[in-house]
């Protein structure tokens, strides 16, 4: 079955710097790759996603890149702010938005 790895497990950056989180997946049939932000005591919230027919997607300070050949995708956050501090999860869907497998998460701390 699908396996999703995520690195690093923790990341500390200074406010204003960039943060990059990387995920790899094993199933070449996976075709949808979302990123979620989870704040303490809350459910995950989608921040950006990418489908297998696209190589890069941007939304203001957040971007995601996908390399299907290498089976990895990355989250890029520029100009980080203290409110970006949270746990971030990547995921892969093996079947058109069904049957998601999540990475173990990255705890991002943005230091003022």
Partner 1 sequence: NAGVTQTPKFQVLKTGQSMTLQCAQDMNHEYMSWYRQDPGMGLRLIHYSVGAGITDQGEVPNGYNVSRSTTEDFPLRLLSAAPSQTSVYFCASSAGPGEYEQYFGPGTRLTVT
* Residues of this chain that bind partner 1 (CB under 8 A): 1, 4, 6, 9, 32, 34, 36, 42-46, 49, 89, 91, 93, 96-105
The conformation of residue 80, written as its DSSP 8-state character, comes to: -
Q: How far is the CB of 88 from partner 1 (least distance, A)?
A: 11
36 strand-pairing partners: 46, 89
| Whether 100 contacts 86, CB under 8 Å | no
CB of 14 or CB of 42, closer to partner 1: 42
CB of 42 or CB of 112, closer to partner 1: 42
| Whether 20 contacts 73, CB under 8 Å | no
Q: How far is the CB of 53 from partner 1 (least distance, A)?
A: 13
Q: How far is the CB of 112 from partner 1 (least distance, A)?
A: 27
Q: How far is the CB of 15 from partner 1 (least distance, A)?
A: 27
| Whether 51 contacts 31, CB under 8 Å | yes
CB of 49 or CB of 71, closer to partner 1: 49
As a whole number of angstroms, the distance between CA 12 and CA 67 comes to 25
């Amino acid at each position: 079955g699908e396996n999703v790895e995520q690195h690093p497990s923790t990341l500390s950056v200074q406010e204003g710097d960039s943060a990059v989180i990387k995920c790899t997946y094993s199933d070449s049939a996976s075709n949808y790759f979302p990123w979620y932000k989870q704040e303490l005591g809350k459910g995950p919230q989608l921040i950006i996603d990418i489908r297998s027919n696209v190589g890069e997607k941007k939304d203001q300070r957040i971007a995601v890149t996908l390399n299907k050949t290498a089976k990895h995708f990355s989250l890029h956050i520029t100009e980080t702010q203290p409110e970006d501090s949270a746990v971030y999860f990547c995921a892969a869907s093996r079947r058109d938005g069904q049957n998601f497998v999540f990475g173990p998460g990255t705890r991002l701390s943005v230091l003022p």
